[in-house]
Amino acid sequence: MTTAEAIAIIVVIMAALTGVLLLLPKMARPTLPFGVRVPEIHTDDLVITTATRQYYRWLVVTMAVVTVVLVALVLVVPAPVVVSSAAFAALAAWFVPYLSARRLVLDAKHTESWFEGTRQTVAADTTWRTSPLPYPWKWTLPAILAAVATLIVGIVVYPSLPDRIATHVGLNGPDEFTDTTVWSAFSLVGVQFLLTALLLGIVWVILRSKPDLAASDPKSSAHEYRRYAMAMAKSVLVLAFGMNVTMLLAALVVWDVLPATMVWIVVGIVPTLATAGIVVAVAIRTGQSGHRLHAATTTESATTTDRDDDAYWIAGLIYRNSDDPALWVPKRFGGVGFTVNVARPAAWILIGAIVAITIGALIFAALA
Amino acid sequence: VIIIVEVDSEVPLYQQIRDRVVEGIANGELRAGDPLPSTRQLAADLSINFHTVNKGYDTLRAEHLLRLNRKSGAVVQRDPTSGPPDGDYVDSWSHRARTLLGEAIAQGMPPSDVIGQCRNIVAGFQEGTPE
């Protein structure tokens, strides 16, 4: 990787991340600005507008500073190290605008006692459990078929593969090779099946997740949550298809069925980028837990608010509630999706597994 | 049915869960044979301890409104169309109603208003409108 390439990659990563992070305030529920629980009557308060504007300004400035520092580092530190740590640096720097905007809202909430005299309620829709959303099996077919197609092509071409095949394709064509074995030839197929299984599992989690219903209007909120969960489930399955098609094309290049030219490398990335774009578009349309699908503005009662559950949320990001049997809970701030209840042992098994897999992959990569 | 509980209420949470289910049966949202979520699922959806939901379900079982078993979970046992109440239910109910209606009289509500309110509430359940 040349210095110019590294700088280009860093600028693209930072621009993309800044774009996503700028969207976060719009994706969060209006009653959860910067992860602070706020009664509905205060969602339009001036302090929240001020905090949001400050977040936007500070975010752009912080990300610009991080980009400049990373670009400067490329000149002294090996470029791959800088490029691979760019995303971590950006996320660490994000805490500056996030925590300071959060502080503004928290201070106003406490000094003005926003929750005093409110009825704090929690709502659950029993039909979410007793007639749950059906798993959209039909939507899994494209992803599964793409993986199976790759496997079949692999079996057909395997006997005629050369002794050595490419393991890495750079901008100037294949640049790293290894001996042809069943393992090396079919590694992409293995990744396809693992990834498909993982995404199918994520869809299951989405469909069985804990809905956070708005206390002011639980009925329409429950309806919106159903639409949101199904839309997210289907778009994740579409993403699985896109990623499998990308890996199908990559495998065809590795197996020399397609030429390892720039054209095919670019064409290969398109399905993943396009389907990831669909996921982002659906997420922007629905908002977290489907709150952006909300049409009606009428609230059942001005004094009924969501429960002030700030005490269970560390920095508005990490959930810890030992009473709550739920493992997966909707994120408060951080776009659309879920986080775990760290008071559940299963959460630590999950985190441990992710850390173990990451370390294992790093060791494996270092040895190979 | 939507179960709404008030966290800081003087009424204990398990009692609120029991009350919401009773009202759901009264207004026809829940019918005999309808399933309810497992105690863990409902507790997770309400972010509360599952022992609390257990206690609420147990209360409903003791009142013959809910059937609990390991296999099929919690199922609504009866609704307004399941026939008259058993045994001495009416006695125990009028005992509690006496206290509640007596409260209104003691606080100075005119008897005609008390009866009017009762009529409205019962009519509300028959129309199937919650609350």
- The token pair that represents A136 in the structure block: 């959209």
Within 8 A by CB and 6+ apart from B25, the residues are B31, B65, B76, B78, B79, B80
CB contact under 8 A, A219 and B2: yes
Mean pLDDT rounded to a whole number for chain B = 92
Q: Is the ipTM of this complex over 0.95?
A: no
pLDDT of residue A266: 86
Which candidate in B4, B10, B11, B60 is best for mutational testing of the A interface (most A CBs within 10 A)?
B4
- The larger pLDDT score, comparing residue A298 to residue B37, is at B37
CB contact under 8 A, B2 and A126: yes
CB contact under 8 A, B42 and A124: yes
pLDDT number for residue B71: 81
What is the structure's pLDDT at A295?
74
Out of A124, A215, A312, the one facing B45 most closely (by C-beta) is: A124
Under 8 Å CB pairs connecting chains A and B tally to 79
**Each residue of A190-244: pLDDT tens digit?**
999 999 999 999 999 999 999 989 988 899 999 999 999 999 999 999 999 999 9
Rounded Cα distance between A185 and A170, Å, is: 18
Q: What is the pLDDT of residue B131?
A: 45
Output the six-digit token pair for A141.
């077919």
Distance (Å, whole) CA A222 – CA A213:
6
A120 vs B3, B8, B36: nearest CB:
B8
> For residue B62, how many other CB atoms are within 10 A of its CB?
10
Please give the Cα distance from A256 to A154 (Å, whole number). Answer: 11
The Cα of A137 is separated from the nearest Cα of chain B by a number of Å equal to: 24
A residues 201-220 near B, CB within 8 Å? Answer: 210-211, 213, 215, 218-219
The minimum CA-CA distance between B95 and chain A, rounded to whole Å, is 30
Q: Taking the CB of residue A12, how many other CB atoms lie within 10 A of it? A: 11
Written as one letter, the residue type at A347 is: A
Q: What is the pLDDT of residue A128?
A: 96
Task: Yes or no: say if B20 and A240 are a contact pair by the CB < 8 Å rule.
Answer: no
- Taking the CA atoms of residue A173, residue A178, residue A182 and residue A187 in that order, the dihedral angle to the nearest 10 degrees is -60
Sign of CA dihedral A278, A280, A282, A285: negative
Answer yes or no: do A120 and B3 touch at CB < 8 A. no
Q: How far is A153 from chain B (nearest CA, A)?
A: 45
Three-state SS for chain A is CCHHHHHHHHHHHHHHHHHHHHHHHHHCCCCCHHHCCCCHHHCCCHHHHHHHHHHHHHHHHHHHHHHHHHHHHHCCCCHHHHHHHHHHHHHHHHHHHHHHHHHHHHHHHHHCCCCCCCEEEEEEECHHHHCCCCCCHHHHHHHHHHHHHHHHHHHHHHHHCCCEEEEEEECCEEEEEEECCHHHHHHHHHHHHHHHHHHHHHHHHHHCCCCCCCCCCHHHHHHHHHHHHHHHHHHHHHHHHHHHHHHHHHHHHHCCCCCCCHHHHHHHHHHHHHHHHHHHHHHHHHCHHHHHHCCCCCCCCCCEEECCCHHHEECCCEECCCCCCCCEEECCCCCCCEEEECCCHHHHHHHHHHHHHHHHHHHHHHHC
All residues of chain A having their beta carbon less than 8 Å from the beta carbon of residue B45 are 124-125, 128-129, 210-211, 326
Contact across the interface for A326 and B45, Cβ inside 8 Å = yes
Contact A211, A125 (CB under 8 A): yes
For each of chain A's 368 residues, which pLDDT tens digit applies? 788 888 999 999 999 999 999 999 999 999 999 999 999 899 999 999 999 999 999 999 999 999 999 999 988 888 888 888 888 999 999 999 999 999 999 999 999 999 998 899 999 999 999 999 999 999 999 999 999 999 999 999 999 888 888 877 766 667 778 888 888 889 899 999 999 999 999 999 999 999 989 988 899 999 999 999 999 999 999 999 999 999 999 999 888 888 878 888 889 999 999 999 999 999 999 999 999 998 765 555 567 899 999 999 999 999 999 999 999 999 999 889 999 999 999 999 999 999 999 899 888 877 76
- CA-wise closest residue to B129 among B8, B40, B23, B42: B23
**Shortest CA gap B58–chain A (Å):** 17
